[in-house]
Amino acid sequence: MHVGVADHLGWAVTVTTSADHEVLDRRRIELVGTGLPVAPIHHEGGAWPQHTSRRLDDAALASLVAQVRASAALATAESLDRLAADLAGPILSISLRASRSGLPADIAALRRPPYESRADAVMYRHVLAEVAEARGWRVHLYDPKQVLDLATARLGADAGRVLDGPRARWGPPWTRDHRTAVAATVVAAKGCPDGSP
């Protein structure tokens, strides 16, 4: 089975598919515990004027980011373990949005544009990848701007059935996030050891 993820700040849509691209599960999963900011760098340490009333110094912001990351690791592990337990077979791969490289490690740099608007999302993707790898799942990265076209080309005449057909079975919502997640599993399944085409 293959899991596609469309992540947001603190939560994500997951869609799990079989080797022949049938949707077996879809759900929203939580990526961070309650009571914490879902975007600590952007919301609590960013450079925008509206952030000045709660501006944290670098040390305090680094501490908050570490706290959110630890919570994200725990919440993500619980969410993915629950997903795996609900499925009838093993998860072979998980597909995550690729992040732009070149993000600095220094908190003082991360809190400045253009990094402060991307750093939190990258953190969640890194946590998702670490949790998946710890479970032996292959991590596949996809470009959300290209994955639907790649999957459509690969599926050919079956594209409509695979990408839009699940709405009839599963009902709403069947959003772009769901279609993107399915498309990512189609692209990731190529060459997987489960006999996917």
Q: What is the CATH number of the domain that holds 133?
A: 3.30.420.40
Query: In sequence order, what are the residues at sequence separation of 6 or more whose Cβ sits closer than 8 angstroms to the Cβ of residue 83?
Result: 3, 14, 16, 25, 27, 29, 91
Which of 30-44, 46-60, 84-98, 108-122 is predicted least confidently?
46-60
For residue 84, give both structure tokens.
Answer: 């795996």
pLDDT digits (tens, 9 = 90+) for 127-168: 999 999 999 999 999 999 999 999 999 999 999 999 999 999
> How many residues are there in the chain?
197
Judged against a pLDDT cut of 50, whether residue 196 lies above it is answered with: no
Judged against a pLDDT cut of 70, whether residue 23 lies above it is answered with: yes
User: Does residue 175 belong to any structural domain of this protein?
Assistant: yes
- Please tell me the predicted confidence (pLDDT) of residue 47: 65
CA distance 6 to 180: 7
Please give the residue range of the domain that contains residue 99: 2-189
Residue 35, number of CB atoms within 10 A of its CB: 6
- Please tell me the predicted confidence (pLDDT) of residue 197: 38
CA 93 to chain CA centroid, nearest Å: 13
User: Does residue 63 belong to any structural domain of this protein?
Assistant: yes
State how many domains the chain has: 1
User: Does residue 13 belong to any structural domain of this protein?
Assistant: yes
User: Does residue 195 belong to any structural domain of this protein?
Assistant: no
User: Does residue 196 belong to any structural domain of this protein?
Assistant: no
Percent of the chain with pLDDT over 90: 77
Q: Please tell me which residue, 78 or 35, carries the higher pLDDT value.
A: 78
User: Does residue 81 belong to any structural domain of this protein?
Assistant: yes
- Please tell me the predicted confidence (pLDDT) of residue 157: 95
Write out the DSSP string of the chain: -EEEEEE-SSEEEEEEE-TT--EEEEEEEE-S-TTS-SSIIIIIS-SSGGGGGGPPPHHHHHHHHHHHHHHHHHHHHHHHHHHHHHSSS---EEEEE---S---S-HHHHTSTTGGGTHHHHHHHHHHHHHHHHTTPEEEEE-TTTHHHHHHHHHGGGHHHHHTTHHHHH-S---HHHHHHHHHHHHHHTT-TT---
Which of 11-15, 47-51, 133-137, 138-142 is predicted least confidently?
47-51
User: Does residue 197 belong to any structural domain of this protein?
Assistant: no
- Please tell me the predicted confidence (pLDDT) of residue 91: 97
Q: What is the mean pLDDT of the chain?
A: 90
User: Does residue 160 belong to any structural domain of this protein?
Assistant: yes
* pTM assigned to the model: 0.91
Judged against a pLDDT cut of 70, whether residue 52 lies above it is answered with: no
Cis ω for the linkage preceding 173 (within 30 of 0): yes
